[in-house]
Amino acid sequence: MNDVNFLIGNENILNIPMAPFADEVCDFLNDLSKEILSSSEGRLYPDLSALAFWCRKANIQKLKSQERVGKYRLGRGLCFHIAPSNIPVNFAFSYVFSLLSGNANIVRLPSKDFPQVNALIGILKKVIEKYPKIQSRTAFVKYDRNSNATEEFSKIADARMIWGGDNTIKTVKSCTTKPRCIDIAFADRYSVCILDGEKILEADEKIMQRLSENFYNDTYLMDQNACSSPQIIYWLNDSSDAREKFWNTVYETAERKYVLQDAVCVDKYTKFCEDAIDYHETIKGVKNRGNLLYRSEISVLSENIENLRGKGGYFYEYSLNDLGEFFQVVDEKYQTVTYFGINPETLALNISSHELRGIDRIVPVGQAMDIDIIWDGYDLLSQLSRIIDVRG
């Protein structure tokens, strides 16, 4: 382990489970929330403030009151986390979910250098020192890709949270593990947005402003890199007036808030050229407003439509005759549907009745990034803890 950099903790981690929602864990998370919110970084980075908001006492107590895990339950033991490289603070949510479930944790940090990660590690160091029971069960590590640390940590893990692309998950799953070790894999997924054009036309300026801000947070904020960021916008009750009203407001919001990087400009133009070559039968036209917003019009929903992926303000859109047309292309890759102007219960009922293999989340526009203990179709608290079955 000489090539492993332990930013918090060490290799002598205490692998003793706790009960879910242990008092010390709840207090620790509340202190962490307060420390983030009082820091300059917490005010600077929205993803840090989102983490702090999630960890606040009121939310943790709400989750605890909703606990459906039975009277006698403990964590599985030691959970090894492999964080995604493109979402800075995802590693912290993964850690918090497992900690609340009663586990000791080894967390591999993102390979990329994010200022949010460095700031959060500093805050965690400060807070965790006051909680020795948690400190002895926690390690945050960094190591190079050519290290054998993943194999070594996998050997001692009782559970693994694996975030990443399909190839990453395949490689990690090839590592030797304990016979009872469980893997929760968050593979490459695909997400979309469904908008009702009639409801867009009915919306006043205040509603449209809020909608555009929420859409911006789902997409531009993470350059559409998150699996839950919508790539295709599906229109019900479509009209050119509704589209222009929506996209004009989105453009105005992005123009005011988005910092367009040179590399993203190149990526978007490259994507435009690739689409023109590879998908000339699927895409019938592209509209753009400078380099800030690209809209690619899909003419037909073909097989493997989820291969169409934008970045930094490059969107695809399609006019639906009805939801059944959309359901025909849904497969297990589909994760999140964000919506505006449609009934989510009706959508969920249709997904169930059509017996679809995909779509795990249905949330309003603006909540695509709102990660929680139910994610990717998993109840993480249930998965990461074990039941002690007692019968009289």
**Local confidence pLDDT in tens for the 392 residues of the chain:** 779 999 999 999 999 999 999 999 999 999 999 999 999 999 899 899 999 999 999 999 999 888 665 678 999 999 999 998 888 999 999 999 999 999 999 999 998 889 999 999 999 999 999 999 999 999 999 999 889 999 999 999 999 999 988 898 999 999 999 999 999 999 889 999 999 999 999 999 999 999 999 999 999 988 898 899 999 999 999 999 999 999 999 999 999 999 888 888 888 889 889 988 988 889 988 899 988 999 999 999 987 899 999 989 999 999 999 999 999 999 999 999 999 999 999 999 999 999 999 999 999 999 999 999 999 989 999 999 999 888 88
Same domain for 140 and 234, yes or no, is no
Any idea how long the chain is?
392
Question: Which of 122, 157, 188 is a domain's end point?
Answer: 188
Question: What is the pTM (predicted TM-score) of this model?
Answer: 0.90
Same domain for 116 and 37, yes or no, is yes
Q: What's the rounded Cα separation, in Å, for the pair 100 and 95?
A: 9
Q: What's the rounded Cα separation, in Å, for the pair 57 and 23?
A: 11
Same domain for 213 and 136, yes or no, is no
Q: How many domains does the chain have?
A: 2
Same domain for 251 and 235, yes or no, is yes
Task: Write out the residue range of the structural domain in which residue 284 sits.
Answer: 190-364
Domain at 67, CATH number: 3.40.605.10
Same domain for 79 and 216, yes or no, is no
Same domain for 160 and 209, yes or no, is no
Question: Which of 163, 188, 213 is a domain's end point?
Answer: 188
Same domain for 152 and 209, yes or no, is no
Same domain for 176 and 220, yes or no, is no
Rg of the chain taking only CA atoms, in angstroms:
22
User: Does residue 293 form part of some domain?
Assistant: yes
Same domain for 327 and 239, yes or no, is yes
Same domain for 50 and 184, yes or no, is yes
Residue listed under structure tokens 């948690």: 134
Same domain for 93 and 165, yes or no, is yes
